[in-house]
């Protein structure tokens, strides 16, 4: 079963991505794409630019685990570990081909099923659905949780999206969801291939 890899990376020191890191991510992403035969995309969190999301595809979780332990990946990671930390790694049931190569804006929602549903901060992600280029939902493919993920994207970099506490008039509407973690991220500008 194909899966989507969603990795959350944090730049050490909390800075924005520099040229060296972007070049290494591009090189590492190209190597991963060649190994997996699926595209790899990088996005930077709008509110915390030091947080980067890798979105890629695999034939299965096992196929990704083979890549993780491979000497090629270990060499790539040796160059990245001094620059960033891997904060989270999830696998989502689905095919990464749903993600448009032109995606400029990514919205990630994660329903944590292992948390009490009465806890958490109420948030709403608001954007005009006419500006959504693609969307998908999928359950976690990881054996230890049943989280539900919602991914959507826009090919228009000027799309306006906000994550905020809902107003009283929005409470109870379809756009309102409890205990969902929302992330809004923009595509990283990568240096040109040499």
Q: In the predicted model, is pLDDT for residue 39 greater than 60?
A: yes
Q: In the predicted model, is pLDDT for residue 133 greater than 50?
A: yes
The mean pLDDT of 134-161, rounded to a whole number, is 83
Which two tokens mark 167?
């107003």
The mean pLDDT of 63-86, rounded to a whole number, is 96
More confident residue, 177 or 43: 43
For residue 128, what pLDDT band results from cuts at 50, 70 and 90? low
CA 6-11-12 angle, to 5 degrees, is: 135
Q: Domains in the chain, start-ordered, CATH in brackets? A: 3-98 (3.30.70.100), 105-187 (no CATH)
Q: Spell out where the chain has E strands.
A: 3-11, 40-45, 51-58, 84-93, 105-111, 123-126, 134-139, 148-154, 162-164, 176-177, 180-187
More confident residue, 91 or 129: 91
Which two tokens mark 8?
């959350």
Q: Are 150 and 137 in contact (CB under 8 A)?
A: yes
The pTM assigned to this predicted structure is: 0.82
């Amino acid at each position: 079963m194909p899966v989507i890899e969603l990795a959350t990376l944090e730049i050490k020191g909390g800075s924005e991505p520099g040229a060296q890191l972007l070049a290494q991510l591009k090189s590492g992403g190209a190597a991963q794409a060649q190994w997996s035969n699926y595209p790899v995309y990088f996005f930077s969190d709008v509110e915390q630019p030091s947080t980067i999301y890798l979105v890629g595809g695999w034939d299965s979780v096992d196929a990704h685990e083979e890549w993780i332990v491979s000497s090629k990946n270990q060499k790539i990671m040796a160059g990245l570990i001094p620059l960033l930390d891997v904060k989270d790694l999830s696998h989502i049931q689905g095919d990464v081909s749903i993600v448009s190569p032109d995606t400029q804006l990514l919205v990630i929602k994660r329903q944590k099923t292992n948390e009490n549903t009465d806890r958490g901060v109420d948030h709403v992600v608001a954007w005009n659905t006419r500006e959504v280029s693609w969307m998908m939902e999928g359950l976690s493919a990881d054996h230890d949780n049943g989280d539900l993920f919602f991914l959507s994207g826009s090919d228009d970099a000027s799309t306006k999206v906000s994550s905020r506490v809902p107003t009283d008039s929005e409470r109870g509407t379809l756009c309102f969801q409890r205990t969902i973690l929302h992330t809004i991220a923009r595509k990283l500008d990568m240096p040109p291939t040499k």
